[in-house]
Amino acid sequence: MFVDQVKVYVKGGDGGNGMVAFRREKYVPNGGPAGGDGGKGANVIFVVDEGLRTLMDFRYQRHFKAPRGEHGMSKGQHGKNAEDMIVKVPPGTVVTDAATGQVIADLVTHGQEAIIARGGRGGRGNSRFASPSNPAPELAENGEPGQERDVILELKVLADVGLVGFPSVGKSTLLSVVSAARPKIAAYHFTTIVPNLGMVETEDGRGFVMADLPGLIEGAHEGVGLGHQFLRHIERTRVIVHVIDMSGMEGRDPYEDYITINNELKEYNLRLTERPQIVVANKMDIPEAEENLEIFKSKVGPDVKVFPISAVTRQGLRDLLFTVADLLETTPEFPLHEVEEGSARVMYKFEKDERNFFISRESDGSFVVSGGEIEKLFKMTDFSREESVRRFARQMRGMGIDEALRERGAKDGDIVKIMEYEFEFID
């Protein structure tokens, strides 16, 4: 099965917890704090493996959770950092954040890698919090939680040339005679249900990769037929070879086919119209084809060069392949995603601090505090130690949460919820 789009969950490893410990050697009075820091959590890293061709493996494993760092230990020993989790993906994979739609990585070349979810830093041990005013702190941090997100993996095949056209116009036959690829060929529509790749070599030794894509029909950009699932694979190609059935055996007009397919490419992605297109008139071995070709040429005009071929008899293939190879030498690659050129000028301006937390009320009258920063601080607090609890209260006060609760009408004894935990508000 050819799988080219899948949604997966990734989570970086949590950092290890810091430790509260003290030196207790027999002859070392007032030994002081000696709790070590926790180790860093593992990153989730996607790496390109050229041996993979589809995203099939991700149908069976959709959750990737990296290991956490080791906890800190006594005698000032730091916990071990976790080893990064390596996930192999096929070349041509685009990784997108499911929540924001932002492209995280475009993985093309073998060995290329990208960090998709970062691991959390290790929590600090109590030796980090020692100060002249508090030389023996009973305070340590829990590890920082690792980054977690849902991502969409989209495979866009790496081909120099893409064959497009209506079903049964001879795209698979053309690929089979110019390369060693053996796509399924039969006398019914949508025989090709997955993209097929073939390596083509011209007589003068130049080579390129050609992709045979499932047939397009009218409305493909809106999801009609099979072709809409594979239009994304045309995005990486530098040259489009538009194959047209010039025999009219299917009862369609070749010129209408030409207009319809070009319209589908335009509606799907306007940038596809920037790519050079070679029009190929196939099935010229059938008697009616010559007459249809003359009519077609008169409609498209002299600006559009048409290559008459017969994939079955191999008529005209040599000239076609030379033209494609010549075009590839002068056609640059088209980036999938626009990269804005950075400016050397930087402007600094005052911006009022916005609250990075939210307060809401529930039906029972309790207050719910939420937000990425406060939830991270909450997870990194060791509530089994009073000193850690006092530190968390100071952090909340510094963020302005206490004042915001009072503005919302919180009074002594009211219930405040953070995540699944409840506290009593004390004014």
List the binding residues. Answer: 165-172, 190-194, 212-215, 282-285, 310-312
Provide, for the chain, the percentages of residues in helix, strand and coil under a 3-state DSSP scheme, each rounded to the nearest 5.
Answer: 25, 25, 55
CA distance linking residue 425 with residue 427, whole number of Å = 6
Quote the tokens at residue 355. 């609250």
How far apart are the two ends of the chain, measured CA to CA in Å?
Answer: 63
90, 109 in Cβ contact below 8 A?
no
108, 48 in Cβ contact below 8 A?
yes
95, 105 in Cβ contact below 8 A?
yes
Q: Is 56 buried (19+), middle (13-18) or exposed (0-12) by CB count in 10 A? A: middle
Give which of 73, 235, 81 is closest to 164, Cα–Cα: 235
Which residues are CB-neighbours of 374 under 8 A, at least 6 positions away? Answer: 356, 357, 396, 399, 401, 418
Quote the tokens at residue 199. 């390596």
Q: Is 95 buried (19+), middle (13-18) or exposed (0-12) by CB count in 10 A? A: buried
Give which of 45, 40, 9, 41 is closest to 148, Cα–Cα: 9
209, 217 in Cβ contact below 8 A?
no
User: What residue numbers does the annotated binding site for GTP cover?
Assistant: 165-172, 190-194, 212-215, 282-285, 310-312
User: What residue numbers does the annotated binding site for Mg(2+) cover?
Assistant: 172, 192
CA distance linking residue 44 with residue 145, whole number of Å = 14
Which residues are CB-neighbours of 348 under 8 A, at least 6 positions away? Answer: none
Ramachandran quadrant class, 387 (left: phi over 0; alpha: psi -120 to 50; beta: rest): alpha
